[in-house]
Structures are given as structure tokens and as C-alpha cells.
Structure 1
């Protein structure tokens, strides 16, 4: 099989297209014939060594992907052979990700993908959708699971609604019944957030965004899904309701977070940091089940017309795909692995 590998941390030049034997699934595992692999910021950061030194002698990158189960290991229902799936967290503690024609993963990391959903959509789920799900289910006064009606009456603020996680947060929140506000930095990103389904889109660089949000949510927003905590903390606290939650999954821009205690005491602010690697198997399983249900309902479409442009590369250009993500490509970067899978 064709696979992308690297044997040392570094730039995109460490990525190689190689031939490897097709792996066999072990007990509790499935083998997936990968059609499309999704690229996330964590993939290039892991490759470069920004987050961790090399953990295995050789690594096939990418946490996320989509394809068809073609073999199962001992203890796995043989009826899953032929099942279309979306794969998530493939390289979490393992050396074999989805940048290969076949990938072996624990069976629970291959979630059913409805027949109506494309492999492009399946490969776009994983990190973005599960992160968004977690951000929307950690509010003290909110639900722990998402379904239609679960967020009825809630107001969710999604910072950076044009990003992959922001896009998923808008769609999941709206599917669950919330009123969704998204902050963006310009007209093009506003168009993407609106296409994703945000009810209100506010340019945080213009006018008085706090006043604009308070007009929509006079009692404050219930949950903030935050991508740049250092830069946006003052705005978040100015629009948060008492007992509200700021769920942060990144700190884009890298501005240090300076926290004043007393205003947060008065608000009873809940800060929730979200990282899928350490979120726990129970949260991942719940997220995967709910995300699959949302996909089956048609609630998580991708593509420019739905607010998430797809930027794609063939497998042999995976290095270019990594560079695109590192350079801040707008939309979802995908790698085509197996034609017609």
C-alpha cells in the first residue's frame, strides 16, 4: 500500500511517500480502506515537534479520515466489514494514522458514516466536530449530550466561526436548538459563518461588538466556544451570563491570558479547556455518537456553500497539505487517498 510516513521531527520535507505492507487488524481493531484523510493543525504540530518529540520510529500522520472497513480483528462484529466509517484520533498514542491506503484503528475510533454522507464530510469531522461537541456540553447548566432540542433557549457565542471547529460548533449548536452568534474579522469570513448557519454574525473589529451581542443576549450568552482566549477574554467576560462557560480549545495569536479573580467570582465563570487527547474515552464516545446522529440528520454539511471550503491534495502532495494548514488555509484541508473507496 501507499502511505505517507516520517521518521523524524521537522518541516514538511520529512514527509515521504513509501510502500508498506497492508496491516492486519488485531483484537478489537478494524482495518479501514481510507478514501479521504483530513489534516488538522495538530497533525503538522506533532510532525514538527512543536507539541511532542517523536514517539515512534516511523509515523503515518493524520488523526482523521473516512473510508470503508474491509477487515476486522478478533472480538469485532464481522458484520462491520463493508461499513462506511469516519475515523478519529487514529494517531493518539499510535503510530499509524489515515495518510495511507489502509489504516488499522481500535473499532471504537471508526464511527458509522451514513450512506448519504460523503467521505469528504467524514474526513472533515474528527477533531473539529468532537472539539465543538465538547465545548457545547460542558456548561454547568447545560446538557452533556447533543440532540435536537438539547440547547433550546440557550445562546452560544462561537468565536472564529469561519474556522473548522467554529464551523462545526455553529452547526451542532443550531442542530441542538441554540441561538448562535459568531464573531468574525471581515466580510468573507462573515459569509462563511452565515453559510454555516449562524443566526447573527458580528465583526469584532468594527463598532461596539459587546453592545451588539448584548442587544441579542441582554442577559448574556450561555456558552462561548473560544479559539483565541487571550485576545478575546475581555469581550467574552463582557457578554457572558452569570454562571456562563467559556470553553477554549486554542489560543490563536498567542496573547497571554491575564485573569482578574474578582469579576470572575461575581460571574461564577466556568472556564473549560478542551483537548481531545486527554478528554477521556467516555466524552469521545458520546461525542462520536452525537456527531454521527447530526450527520444522519444532514446537520453537518461541508463545502464552500455550507461555510467550509474544501482544499484538497493528492496523497503524494501531503507535504503541501500540511503547509496549507500551517499557513492558515481557510476551510478544511483534505488529502485524497484511494479513488473510489
Structure 2
């Protein structure tokens, strides 16, 4: 099993992991390489108390919420578009000797994939590549995002789980301007419990504009995976990520035309864009991206403060779908 991404599948917790010893070994297929902050703890592990105790972090800056909503909306578009680009790119079966399997490192450098000749960028029609919510009975996920605009930066860590057909839990921690806020969202059917960082849940519905963008960026919702991605291409590079066999696609190695399908705003360009599916190309299992752009482009796309953006900006993103069909995962209303 590969340990390139940080730690192995040993039952003991990795150094610095925010959970203690398990009551029993993690199940087969437990993730082996989710990077710090380590995603969702394996079944049988318990979270350690966070530094600072129950008092929690100081209140966020007044403009943090607006920025978070803008960023997650852009993130949702990027994630769905990247998967769609992969599915709309159909490759022929001519062999080039076969690329050597490689691990896409967490440092977001490009995998050494070899594109095949004869790629046809056409819409293949109804296909089989779907979001994990349309295929799996349950899964957990870990999602990380950072945006650096010269004089300031924002980081976001989102983790949670999904249980079919329509239960999801998404907890998002944001650090921005020296402050930290944690938002919590639980969805069961059409009902949503949402804590915007105040510590108090509001009960609402999936149609509420206050939670619409958060739902659209949560990997445990049908709102994020609303596209029919069509027929996946051949030629994915075999790999072993998060305890399972996958096929990895370097989107930047596709022929000219994928940039237009991705739909990023003018002035923003992906430096790294990697998507992987399960070994049968039935569902999207993860992705990594690095997007750079001008200050003007990021201000327009994300609503960044006009006086604080200096020079080029960078956004990095990673998504890992873990514990596919793990029966111990549950989603219940907040206590």
C-alpha cells in the first residue's frame, strides 16, 4: 500500500493526529493517506479536545461570512466543472506502452500521466460517471481550500459524511484575518440544521438562500453532484489512493478545448487539475487543483477586498472521498 501521501494504514494514530487510540482496529479500506488535518477520524477513534477548551475561537471579522460564501460558490463551480471536463473527454484505445502508475502527491504537483492520442472532445451523451452520492450507500469526505491574495489569506477545512439517500453532515472551519469560525450543517431530506458560527442551530430547508451555497459545495449533498457527467474517458492512470484502487486523470494533459468547458472567469487559470474516480470509473473519488490569477480576476470572482489584494492570487483545493459504503457512518439531527 502506498504511503506517499503521509501515513500508512497502521491501527495506531499518526503523530499529531487529533484522535486517540482506537477501541478496535479500523476496518479494511480505511484511508491511508488523508493529509493533515487528517480528515474524519476512523471508526473506533475519538476526537481529542481542541486547544482552548469550550470557550472556542474569537468571533470572526464582520466580512468573513461574505468572503466564505463567495469562495464556496466558486469552489462548487470548479469542482463540478472539473469532473464534467473529465467525463466529456473521450479517449481512444490506442496503446502508447502504458503510463507508469504514480501517486498524485498532496503537495499538488502534477502526476506524471501520459495523454493518449486521438482524444475526441465531444459530448458522449448519457453515461455512467456519477457523483458518489448517486452510487454509494455511505461515505466520509475531507476537503481543503486555501486562497492567498498577497496581503492576506484564507484557509478552509470541510469534513463530514453522507448516508443514502439524503442525509449529510458538513462541518467547515475557516481561518481568515487572524480569526477562526466553524460552521456546522446537517441535512436530512429537505430539512437543514445550520450553525453559522454563533453556536446556535437554525432549522430551515434546503431552499433557504442562507444555506444554498453551503449545500452546493458540500460533497455529501446531491446539490453539489447535480450533473450527469456522461461517459468517462479511457486512459486513466491506475493508482491506489485512500485505501482503494482508482483511475487518475490529469485534466491539463487533455487536448485544447477543456479550458472553455471548465468555465473559470477570465484572468484565472488552473496550474494543477487532477481528478480521480473509482477503478471502474463509476463515481468521482477525489480531486486536486491549484488555480492562479490576477488580483482583478480574484476580486471579481470571489469578492475579495479591493484594497488588500496585491499581485497575483493563488487558490489550492483538494477533495478526498473516504470510507465508501462504511456501515458505521450515521447522520442524525444535532443534539
TM tier relative to shorter chain: under 0.3
Larger helix percent: 1
**Relative contact order, CA 8 A, sep 6+: which one is greater?**
2
**Higher fraction of strand:** 2
TM-score normalised per structure 2: 0.25
TM-score under structure 1 normalisation? Answer: 0.25
